[in-house]
Amino acid sequence: MIKRHPEPLLWMLFSAGGVMSGMLMPALLFLFGIAFPLGWLRPPTTEHMWAALANPLVALTMFALCALSLFHWAHRFRHTLYDGLQIKHLEEVIAAICYGGAIAGSAAAAYLLWQFR
């Protein structure tokens, strides 16, 4: 039986995370990090934010953003450790820590977003 390596799936998650982060994070960082604190725009009320996060489409989008960004980080960090620090002999440990952290962070994001329902 042929053993299949999960590398294509990991590259797909890396790419999807990079696209989601590149498209949505700048807007969110601008709004919540610059525009609202400086008073350029009126910030949303707490009730409005709760109502927005209660919408399943918004919650799913926020979960996808968090989870895919974490997998993007995990894949990039794993290859940085492999290639940059030349520690390929710890391949299984590094992969388990990186992707395990991404899975744990994704589970935490799902749990927190589920609390808004």
- Condensed to tens digits (0 to 9), the pLDDT of residues 84-114 reads 888 878 888 999 999 999 999 999 999 999 8
Residue 40 has pLDDT above 90, yes or no: yes
Residue type for 64, please?
Answer: A
Give the whole-number percent of the chain exceeding pLDDT 90: 69
d(CA 77, CA 13): 14
Residue 116 has pLDDT above 80, yes or no: no
CATH of the domain at 40: 1.20.1300.10
Residue 68 has pLDDT above 80, yes or no: yes
Question: pLDDT band at residue 9, thresholds of 50, 70 and 90?
Answer: confident
Examine residue 4 and state whether it is found in any structural domain, yes or no: no
Nearest CA to 80 among 72, 7, 22?
72
Total domains present in the chain: 1
User: With left for phi above 0 and alpha for psi between -120 and 50, is residue 86 left, alpha or beta?
Assistant: left
Examine residue 1 and state whether it is found in any structural domain, yes or no: no
Range of the domain at 73: 10-114
CA angle 67, 88, 96 (to 5 degrees): 35
Examine residue 5 and state whether it is found in any structural domain, yes or no: no
Examine residue 2 and state whether it is found in any structural domain, yes or no: no
Locate the DSSP E strands across 1-117: none
Examine residue 103 and state whether it is found in any structural domain, yes or no: yes
Q: What is the mean pLDDT of the chain?
A: 91
Q: What is the mean pLDDT of residues 15-31?
A: 93
pLDDT for 21 equals: 92
Examine residue 3 and state whether it is found in any structural domain, yes or no: no
Residue 37 has pLDDT above 90, yes or no: yes
Chain length of the chain: 117
Q: At which residue do the structure tokens 């388990």 appear?
A: 96
